[in-house]
Chains A and B, each alone.
Chain A
Amino acid sequence: MVEWFFGYLAGAVILLAILVVASRNPVHSVLWMLLMFLHVAGLYLLLNAEFLAATQVIVYAGAILVLFLFVVMLLNLREEIKIRRFTGGWLFKGLTALGIIYVLRRGLEGFRVGFEGPWSIEAVGRATHTRALGQVLFTEYILPFEIASLLLLVAIVGAVFLSKKRLR
């Protein structure tokens, strides 16, 4: 049963990703992307990662896509639709993509399923995902967490500087 769900979600994510890139109308692209994000959230749910699924919906599907839509509204859609989506060279690009897919497929065999360590699947299940994530994030991964906060500060300073400071 789970395999069927996974198959549907994974297939849908790939199909929707192709539609995002291939759509002529940017508004359609953004809406396909919204659907894709919701399917990715479904994948997280399958992994018992309910917190990530919720974040995915709130942050990506909610906040980031609204921003995308704002930007798309600023474009001249009539002109944009006439622009060709793709450049040529399909043979080379296709071969590169197939090559990468082949190597990744081979790579799957080398992946380790589940890790030894304090956070086994059962341990995460017992503590519940959100609590486990919170505990790890604010103890073991506190340093990356703090660096990320500085990163956001720089992003804010940069965005405010580049957009708001009056030109002289």
Chain B
Amino acid sequence: MNEINVSMLAPLLPEVIMASAGILVLLVELVARRKETAGLLSIAAVAVAAYYVPHSFGKSFGGMFVSDGYSAFFKFIFFINLILTVLLSMRYLVIEKSNHGEYYSLVVFSTLGMMLMASAGDLIVLYLGLELMALSSYVLAGFIRHDARSSEAAVKYFLLGAFSSALLLYGITLVYGLTGTTDVSLIGAAVVEKGLSTPLFLSVVFLMAAFGFKTALAPFHMWAPDVYEGAPTSVTAFMSVGPKAAAFAAFGRVFLTGFGSLSTDWTGILVVLSILTMAVGNILAIQQDNIKRMLAYSSVAHAGYAVLGIIVGGAEGLAAMMNYLFIYGFMNLGAFAVVIMLRSEGVRGEALEDYKGLAKTHPFAAAVMLVFMFSLTGIPPTAGFIGKFYLFKAVVGAGYAWLAVVTVIFSAISAYFYLRVVMYMYMLEPEGEAVTLSLSPSLGLALLITTLVVILIGVYPSPLLSFARLAAG
């Protein structure tokens, strides 16, 4: 293990490409007159990195870095997240008068952090990847510097993020003290050998709390609504999909590989957290009159659904969770794309009131939003239904039929606030001045992609399902 050579980098090729791209984007930003060039460059880099992901399977650096089907699937979620976010941001940053090229570089670095988290075979790499992801998103949350709300969101996100990092580190040190290693699979072996002890359980709880913060599980969700509301909308879209999926990736790997033999001890806590998360997310979303805040609570609720996959465990549960997060990425980014479209000079377009009568003034925008709201609720012809269906199937298959019933009940509650948006758009008359849409080619492309994928997966889900099944197994 003392020999270092270039061939060790082979499994890291996508990561190396992304790291170089992040630095290149920073340099291009200095000379490019149009900042969009930096955005296009980051999309090109993602395309190259994505091409190399299937060719990069293997372990490297003594098992610290693991590139397998599981990490590859998550990396595709992160790539899609990055591409769509960049497409959403190009025009939006101009409207917000904060069009700086550093934005794209930070998005690339944040994505790199997520990729490292998904591939981390060692808790140290996991922690550093998480910090790389989080540090970039703190800056992104405060990207509109002349807006006090954005700065407030950044500070809140930073303080609570730092707190959750401390919890994570504390859990890692305890695990290291008890097992003598930070390698996830060796931890798994040591845990099997030694069994459960009070301090080991404590460290499991610490790690669960830390991942709970990053995935916004209740009661660790407090930061989410404030940060999601205050941050630039494009960044909110980015944060609600990528970092959440990355935290789930690490959550799944650490808990099922490292603490898999203790699953009977921690699933109980996770079931409680999951139900609490669904309750808090869905019930508090009902009383929101700001659409970003509503989507924030909705994102909390969706974390409650996705965590069911970890509770179920095994290839079946992981596949259902990955499948769900993939679909969630498209429908959530699509919904945020519509929110961004309603934002134009002088009009914020975030209040639920702004959606009144949208079907009369802008039928196209209303129809697209309808698709995403149906999908988030989980109504059949859309992808959201497929995601929930396979999740419930896995939950029932694992013998938690009552948990599936609870989830369906909360899912029904969620219909109230998602469909209220639809009701506002289609059944109410427009009030006051009609909102103007700021549609740009890139935003249009993002909307086209998300709408098509949400409908396509809803109608023809088998390729995605078999892909997720293959990746998890």
Chain A residues touching B, majority SS: helix
A contact residues, range: 20 to 34
| A32 CA to B459 CA, complexed, in Å | 65
Given the known interface contacts A139-B1, A140-B1, A162-B145, the answer about A154 and B128 at a Cβ–Cβ threshold of 8 Å is no
Q: Find chain B residues with CB under 8 A from A138 CB.
A: 4
- Is B21 part of the contact surface with A, judged by Cβ < 8 Å? no
| A67 CA to B398 CA, complexed, in Å | 54
A-B CB contact pairs (8 Å), 5 listed: A112-B177, A112-B179, A151-B135, A154-B135, A157-B139
Chain A-chain B contacts (Cβ-Cβ < 8 Å), number: 102
CB interface residues, B 271-329, toward A, < 8 Å: none
| A107 CA to B60 CA, complexed, in Å | 33
In order of increasing CB-CB distance, the 9 nearest A-B pairs are A107-B199, A158-B139, A147-B128, A143-B61, A115-B180, A111-B177, A110-B197, A144-B124, A106-B198
Q: Find chain A residues with CB under 8 A from B194 CB.
A: 110
Of listed A116, A117, A147, residue having the most chain B CB within 10 A: A147
Interface flags, B131-173, vs A, CB<8A=1, else 0: 1100110110010011000000010000000000000000000
- Nearest chain B CB to A138 CB, angstrom units: 8
- Is B262 part of the contact surface with A, judged by Cβ < 8 Å? no
- Is A142 part of the contact surface with B, judged by Cβ < 8 Å? yes
Contact for B131 among A117, A151, A153, A168, CB less than 8 A = A151
- Nearest chain B CB to A47 CB, angstrom units: 14
Q: A103 touching B139 by the CB < 8 A rule?
A: no
Q: A142 touching B61 by the CB < 8 A rule?
A: yes
Q: Find chain B residues with CB under 8 A from A75 CB.
A: none
- Is A45 part of the contact surface with B, judged by Cβ < 8 Å? no
Q: A106 touching B1 by the CB < 8 A rule?
A: no
Q: A150 touching B125 by the CB < 8 A rule?
A: no
| A167 CA to B144 CA, complexed, in Å | 9
Q: B64 touching A107 by the CB < 8 A rule?
A: no
Q: Find chain B residues with CB under 8 A from A117 CB.
A: 180
Interface flags, A92-118, vs B, CB<8A=1, else 0: 000000000001101110111001110
- Nearest chain A CB to B183 CB, angstrom units: 11
- Is B419 part of the contact surface with A, judged by Cβ < 8 Å? no
Contact for A147 among B26, B116, B142, CB less than 8 A = B116
CB interface residues, A 113-154, toward B, < 8 Å: 115-117, 135, 138-144, 147-148, 150-151, 153-154
Given the known interface contacts A106-B199, A158-B136, the answer about A143 and B146 at a Cβ–Cβ threshold of 8 Å is no
Q: A161 touching B102 by the CB < 8 A rule?
A: yes
Q: Find chain B residues with CB under 8 A from A112 CB.
A: 177-180
- Nearest chain A CB to B117 CB, angstrom units: 11
Q: Find chain B residues with CB under 8 A from A115 CB.
A: 180
- Nearest chain A CB to B97 CB, angstrom units: 6
- Is B65 part of the contact surface with A, judged by Cβ < 8 Å? yes
Closest chain B residue, CB of each to CB of A151: B132
Q: A147 touching B132 by the CB < 8 A rule?
A: yes
- Nearest chain B CB to A114 CB, angstrom units: 9
Closest chain A residue, CB of each to CB of B139: A158
17 more CB-based (< 8 A) A-B contacts, given A104-B202, A110-B177, A158-B106: A106-B199, A107-B202, A110-B199, A112-B178, A112-B179, A144-B64, A144-B128, A148-B128, A150-B109, A151-B128, A154-B106, A154-B132, A154-B136, A155-B135, A161-B100, A161-B139, A162-B154
- Nearest chain A CB to B199 CB, angstrom units: 3
- Is A78 part of the contact surface with B, judged by Cβ < 8 Å? no
- Nearest chain A CB to B220 CB, angstrom units: 16
- Is A165 part of the contact surface with B, judged by Cβ < 8 Å? yes
